[in-house]
A and B are shown apart, each in its own frame.
Chain A
Amino acid sequence: EIVLTQSPDFQSVTPKEKVTITCRASQSIGSSLHWYQQKPDQSPKLLIKYASQSISGVPSRFSGSGSGTDFTLTINSLEAEDAATYYCHQSSSLPFTFGPGTKVDIK
């Protein structure tokens, strides 16, 4: 099973600041890495697919990069509405797995 680790676990950020969340896979997964945002009591929302592909309707301040084992989700100019937990997810190898999540709080 491929294990995904995320860092940091928690980040408290001021509005307009840049946020970088990393996801590391225990073995190479190519570009089969996706990012989700989940706000309290809501279903997850897809932000980025296949490491760097944008999703229609997602603000352009969200971007993704990486391949192999190391991936990054970047939020440029954080807004208050971006307070949420962010998860990475790999679909390279069964069983598919999720990272443990990174909680982003607004100062």
Chain B
Amino acid sequence: QVQLVQSGAEVKKPGASVKVSCKASGYTFTSYGISWVRQAPGQGLEWMGWISAYNGNTNYAQKLQGRVTMTTDTSTSTAYMELRSLRSDDTAVYYCARGTEYFQHWGQGTLVTVSS
């Protein structure tokens, strides 16, 4: 069965960076893109962008341009999302999901807390 397993919770100071991993199994990794969605505490879902696991093409939300980088490692079927220059309003649960248009399989979420 398809599984996406994300790395554990992180606590970061403002200005730091965080890198969240998402290890995929149960399907051919390069056949699907990986999208990232975040959810601030008590808030709705926010699309962050996606990466093609086939050729590495990316598309990022404009508000995150310059601060976010999505990558993949096809040898380990793992996707990564790095967010730099963290601010308090980046505090959220970060989800990876399989697909670039709709998201049928999701990771369990990674809580990133930004606090001084």
Q: By the criterion of a CB under 8 Å from any partner CB, how many residues of chain B are at the interface?
A: 18
Q: Are B44 and A94 interface neighbours, CB within 8 A?
A: no
Q: Of B44, B47, B104, B109, which contacts A101 at CB under 8 A?
A: B44
Does chain A have a CB within 8 A of B108?
yes
Q: How far is the CA of A36 from the CA of B62 in the complex (A)?
A: 24
* In contact, B102 and A94 (Cβ under 8 angstroms): no
Dominant secondary structure at the A interface: loop
- With most chain B CB atoms within 10 A of its CB, the pick from A34, A36, A95, A99 is A95
Bound: A98/B102 CA distance, A: 11
Chain A nearest CB, measured from B108 CB (Å):
6
Q: Is the CB of A55 within 8 A of B47?
A: no
Instruction: Select which of B102, B104, B106 is within 8 A of A89 by beta carbon.
Output: B102
Given that A89-B102, A91-B101, A91-B102 are contacting pairs, would A43 and B45 also be in contact in the complex, using a CB cutoff of 8 Å? no
Contact mask for chain A residues 39-60; partner B; CB cutoff 8 A; 1 contact, 0 none: 0000111100110000100000
A20 to B55, CA, bound (A): 40
